[in-house]
Amino acid sequence: MNKPKIGVLVSGRGSNLQSIMDHIAAGDLPLEVAVVISDKAEAKALERAAGAGIATAVVSRKAYDSKQEFEAAIDASLREHQVQLVVLAGFMRILSGFFVQKWQHKIVNIHPALLPSFTGLDAQGQAVRYGVKVSGCTVHFVDEGTDTGPIILQKVVPVLNGDTGETLAARILVEEHKALPEALRLWALGKLQLEGRKVLIKD
């Protein structure tokens, strides 16, 4: 049986991409990474992908006059590789309605906080400064808002005395590396059912 194909959008380190690749290699994530696209040529994620024999592309915002042309180039690359789901794994740009409408309910993001709390940048630092006692990560479908789309799953970690944004981020990252492959596995097995803004996980 052909495995469903995903495209992963990245900007940096790529530890979440690595986790996806590791789960595929271990045989417990039934999908194929068809292409990894970065807006930054120097992203370590690109090296990780190339090292695993995965197609890569750099689509730089600076190469295009408008955001729409930039996003159209990403869209073209995804379609060229017959991608069925777009995964944002540390992609540090907000996608506009133009792109999100093309991929309605077919974009998944991982965010390092328990949404709807602490959207946007430095979610871990926001959580520490606010003084919450638990935080975590959220895997969700992307809609036209920032970190507002239907939630697929969440994992929780404690916030400890003396935590900084960095120490909390490290604790959350461990859970991100479990949550994203788990959510993608559910998607690949056809177990995610969208009902309004709720995602039901079928048995």
Residues that bind ligand GRF (CB under 6 A): 12-16, 89-90, 110-112, 173, 176
Are the C-beta atoms of 37 and 9 separated by less than 8 Å?
Answer: yes
Give 52 or 173: the residue with its C-beta nearer to ligand GRF. 173
107 within 8 A of 132, measured Cβ to Cβ: no
Nearest position to ligand GRF, beta carbon? 90
| Catalytic one of 23, 111, 140, 177 | 111
Q: What is the chain's length?
A: 203
CB of 196 to ligand GRF, least distance (A): 25
Nearest residue (CB) to ligand GRF, 10 versus 199: 10
Smallest gap from Cβ 3 to ligand GRF, in A, equals: 22
Strand partners, 158: 134
Query: Is the CB of 75 or the CB of 176 nearer to ligand GRF?
Result: 176
Whole-Å CA distances, 116 to 64, 73, 88, 120: 33, 31, 18, 10
| Residue 111 annotated to the active site | yes
Output the six-digit token pair for 152. 């697929």
| Residues taking part in catalysis | 111
